[in-house]
Amino acid sequence: MSARKSVATAFMALSVLACGGGANEEANTRADAPATQVFEWKMATTWPKNLPGMGTGAERFARQVEAMSAGRLKIQVYGAGELVPALDVFDAVSGGAAEMGHGAAYYWRGKLPVAAFFTAVPFGMTTPEMNAWIEWGGGLELWREAYAPFDLYPMVAGNTTLQMGGWFNREINSLEDLKGLKMRIPGIAGEVWQRAGGTAVVLPGGELFTSLQRGAIDATEWVGPYNDLALGLHSIADYYYYPGWHEPGSVLEAIINIDAWNSLPPDLQAIVEGAAAAINDSMTNEFSARNAISLQTLVEEHGVEVRPFPDDVIDRLREISEEIMRETREDDDLSRRIVDSFLAFREQAKAYQQVSDVAYADIR
């Protein structure tokens, strides 16, 4: 299993090698590629080019891999629409048009309904809990099993932390206010929104501003203050709601075409996994720091009105989310095992949080 700790890059590469680095056993026993061979990969992303946090994180990952490999693995990063449309990344990497992708698993729910559990589930787990489940709770093995039929090898490569509830041009005072409200919201959360009476729309980040500005949608969630400020959403929406019930700790993924992955010698595989672990920590810390600063800017400099969702809205959204999770569990044996693993870990985490983070936040 790959390391998930921020340490010196050389140590990361060695530590991943020491525990297998998730590398395919065949790859470890086959004849290694010459140490001088240079690999050139394309990475397609679902983010606008150089979007703060996610887009810049993908760029940092590519630079780190090239530096750690002494130039033996070069990764060219493409923003959404530069190589393929944002929501075509999964197919592009699966089919070999790009060796690698960076995105979020819930975008592929139409192809693999249970994939959303590896990004975010409404009322699911927070960032530390998701990282713990994936690395130490069996999530990674299930994730790789789920993606194997698509010739994809996934790994954690970032997290946006707890998100905001979104931007609205209509006040939300009760469940009645959700009826007919068109909101950009993907994944299981979109299905929850539909069942609650709203209309869910899936759009890539690059289309949010114009869609909200033109009235094609009435509301949108994106990430949080750091990204939302960069996209200028505060200039076209009246209300900023919280909490982010829909994405409590959104995992970002690096997906690699399995043939491209197996073509790498073990040391380069270890470097890729080490760099992914590093960018996961770095991006998590970046969002934690920048969200706090950006929220202050939105409120104090732009007069943004921050509001909580009403209790009855949250209660109903939670009920629907639990229904959908139970339904997803019934799709097939793999879905059952993934959902059961996720829910069991969530319950353990909730119990501990009551006497740790939650208790500490109350006394602080």
* Rounded Cα gap, residues 35 and 109, in angstroms: 39
Distances in whole angstroms, Cα of residue 189 to Cα of each of 134, 192, 211, 286, 297: 21, 5, 19, 25, 28
What does the pLDDT read at residue 32? 57
- How high is the pLDDT of residue 205? 87
Q: What confidence tens digit (pLDDT) does each residue in 318-345 have?
A: 999 999 999 999 999 999 999 999 999 9
Which of 150, 219, 149, 145 has the alpha carbon at shortest distance from 182? 219
**pLDDT > 80? residue 3:** no
In the block, residue with structure tokens 């954690």: 156
pLDDT one-digit tens code per residue, 78-114: 999 999 999 999 999 999 999 999 999 999 999 999 9
The single residue listed with the structure tokens 């086959």 is 30
- pLDDT score recorded for residue 35: 75
Where does the pLDDT of residue 7 fall: very low under 50, low under 70, confident under 90, or very high at 90 and above? very low
Query: What backbone phi and psi angles, to 5 degrees, belong to 101?
Result: -140, 160
Does residue 240 sit in helix, strand or coil? strand
- Please provide residue 206's backbone torsions phi and psi, each rounded to the nearest 5 degrees: -70, -10
If one counts every other C-beta atom within 10 angstroms of the C-beta of residue 270, the result is: 27
Task: Show the tokens assigned to 231.
Answer: 């996209």
Identify whether the C-beta of residue 40 lies closer than 8 Å to the C-beta of residue 62: no
36 falls in which pLDDT band (50, 70, 90)? Answer: confident
- Is the model's pLDDT at 30 over the cut of 90? no
The whole-chain average pLDDT of the chain stands at: 91
C-alpha span between 260 and 196 (Å, rounded): 43
State residue 36 phi and psi, 5-degree precision. Answer: -95, -5
- Distance, in Å, from the CA atom of 353 to the CA atom of 132, rounded to the nearest integer, reads 13
The two beta strands, 219-220 and 73-78, are: unpaired
pLDDT at 136: 97
Q: Do the beta carbons of residue 102 and residue 43 sit within 8 Å?
A: yes
Contacts of residue 9, Cβ cutoff 8 Å, sequence gap at least 6: 64, 67, 68, 274, 275, 278
- Residue 64: both structure tokens together: 């780190």
Has residue 17 got a pLDDT over 80?
Answer: no
CA-CA distance, 239 to 305, in Å (whole number)? Answer: 5
**pLDDT at residue 4 tops 50:** no
Please check the confidence at residue 19 and state whether its pLDDT lies above 70.
no
Average pLDDT over residues 216-234: 96
Could you say which DSSP state residue 349 is in? H
Judged on CB neighbours under 10 Å (0-12, 13-18, 19+), 66 is middle
Q: What pLDDT, on the 0 to 100 scale, is given for residue 33?
A: 59
Token digits of residue 292: 């706090």
Helix and strand totals (H; E) in the chain = 14, 11
Percentage above 70 pLDDT, the chain = 91
Indicate if the pLDDT at residue 12 is higher than 80.
no
> What CA–CA distance (Å, rounded) separates 155 from 22?
9
C-alpha to C-alpha distances, 198 to 26, 47, 71, 292, 341, nearest whole angstrom? 49, 26, 50, 30, 30
Share of the chain above pLDDT 90, in %: 89
Tell me the sheet residues that pair with 305.
239
Confidence band (pLDDT; 50, 70, 90) for 22? Answer: very low
> pLDDT (tens digit, 9 = 90+) per residue, 161-209?
999 999 999 999 999 999 999 999 999 999 999 999 999 999 888 899 9
Q: Which residues contact 220 (CB under 8 A, 6 or more apart)?
A: 166, 167, 183, 184, 185, 203, 208, 211, 212, 233, 237
**Of residues 24 and 286, more confidently modeled:** 286
Instruction: Read off the amino acid at residue 182.
Output: K
- Report whether 3 contacts 274 (CB < 8 A): yes
Distance CA 19, CA 3 (A): 8
pLDDT at 274 over 60: yes
pTM score above 0.85: yes
